[in-house]
Amino acid sequence: MTGTTAGTPAATGTTERTPLVELEGVSKRYGNVRALQDVSLEVHAGEITCVLGDNGAGKSTLIKTIAGLHPHDGGTLRIEGEETRLSSPREALDRGIATVYQDLAVVPLMPVWRNFFLGSEPRTGVGPFKRLDTGLMRRTTREALLRMGIDLRDVDQPIGTLSGGERQCVAIARAVHFGAKVLILDEPTAALGVKQSGVVLKYVAAARDEGLGVVLITHNPHHAYLVGDRFVLLRRGTMVGNHTRDGIILDELTRQMAGGSDLEALRHELRRD
């Protein structure tokens, strides 16, 4: 087990909490390709676990493993202390694990409220007179967004007219509303500017404050350090760092993320004679 962040119940002398999700020595292979090797991490309620790495580091495979898309083939996955092997995204969702991918899987021309309830639409009436309860969906969407501090101009506007940051925030609010315990966010700030990235991180922190365990996948150590409680660094499918916030400073996190000793060796190679 890694250390705990200052201010958490474990740090104040109470009984150590069971992680919502725990990976211990998890590996995944695709034929002869090793995508993950001996990766461990913990996701606690009310905390943000950041997974950092460049392209090809294994972040996508890790997401798919926790989300139930590609079952692991080595090591142990536990959900609330129970060892398990997820066989589908539906099973992961039923266990309270919601994943927000980079493409968000929204229908751009549909209004915000339709996207908010996509696949889970409530109905009213009986028999052949059943119809979508549009009033309830509009009202619930507005209330759920306001609860997270998101004040949209109009939930009837097509979601495609929102900024990238606003769409990410709607997806986060949707996961909170539908009872997720663990929220996995795949590079939510990757294509955003500084201001919009700040807005998204604000709502990532709001999800944490709602008591969710958040897994933030990112290649940006500055964004990770703003909100993170735990940091797992991946390189070529292997774990090269596992730290709590009180165990590492931003400069060291950035150095490890950038390759550290590899960069130092490269500097010597590129130096002018």
Q: Can you tell me the mean pLDDT for 3-27? A: 67
Q: What does the pLDDT read at residue 75?
A: 93
Element of type H or E holding 94:
helix 89-94
Domain parsing of the chain, residue ranges: 19-110+167-270
Distance (Å, rounded) from C-alpha 102 to C-alpha 267? 34
Class of CATH domain 19-110+167-270:
alpha beta
Ramachandran area for residue 271 (φ above 0: left; ψ -120 to 50: alpha; else beta): beta
Give the pLDDT band (50/70/90) at residue 244.
very high
Give the pLDDT band (50/70/90) at residue 77.
very high
| Cα distances (Å, whole numbers) of residue 8 to 49, 118, 229 | 14, 36, 10
If one compares 175 and 1, the residue with the highest pLDDT of the two is 175
Cβ neighbourhood burial of 104 (10 Å; 0-12, 13-18, 19+): middle
Tokens standing for residue 7 = 């201010």
SS3 218: strand
Q: What does the pLDDT read at residue 110?
A: 93
CA 199 from chain center: how many Å?
Answer: 16
Residue 112 CB coordination number (10 Å): 26
pLDDT digits (tens, 9 = 90+) for 85-101: 998 999 999 999 999 98
Q: What does the pLDDT read at residue 14?
A: 42
Q: Strand 21-30 relative to strand 48-52: parallel, antiparallel, unpaired?
A: unpaired
Distance (Å, rounded) from C-alpha 25 to C-alpha 43? 15
**What is the phi/psi pair of residue 17, to 5°?**
-80, 150
Average pLDDT of the chain is: 87
Instruction: Say whether pLDDT at 10 is over 80.
Output: no
Instruction: Say whether pLDDT at 111 is over 90.
Output: yes
Give the pLDDT band (50/70/90) at residue 265.
low
Count Cβ neighbours within 10 Å for each residue of 117-140 and write b for 16 or more, e otherwise.
Answer: beeeeeeeeeeeeeeebbeebbeb
Instruction: Say whether pLDDT at 243 is over 60.
Output: yes
Distance (Å, rounded) from C-alpha 252 to C-alpha 83? 34
Q: What does the pLDDT read at residue 101?
A: 87
Instruction: Say whether pLDDT at 16 is over 90.
Output: no
| 20: CB partners within 8 A, 6+ apart | 43, 44, 45, 79, 80, 96, 181, 182, 213
Q: What does the pLDDT read at residue 12?
A: 41
Q: Can you tell me the mean pLDDT for 128-132? A: 85
**What is the phi/psi pair of residue 41, to 5°?**
-160, 165
pLDDT digits (tens, 9 = 90+) for 197-236: 998 999 999 999 999 999 999 999 999 999 999 999 999 9
Q: What percent of the chain has pLDDT over 70?
A: 89
Question: What strands lie across the sheet with 182-186, from one edge to the other?
Answer: 82-84, 74-79, 21-30, 33-43, 238-244, 230-235, 48-52, 213-218, 182-186, 97-100
Q: Strand 74-79 relative to strand 21-30: parallel, antiparallel, unpaired?
A: antiparallel
If one compares 156 and 264, the residue with the highest pLDDT of the two is 156
Q: What does the pLDDT read at residue 273?
A: 61
Instruction: Say whether pLDDT at 4 is over 50.
Output: no
Q: Can you tell me the mean pLDDT for 38-52? A: 95
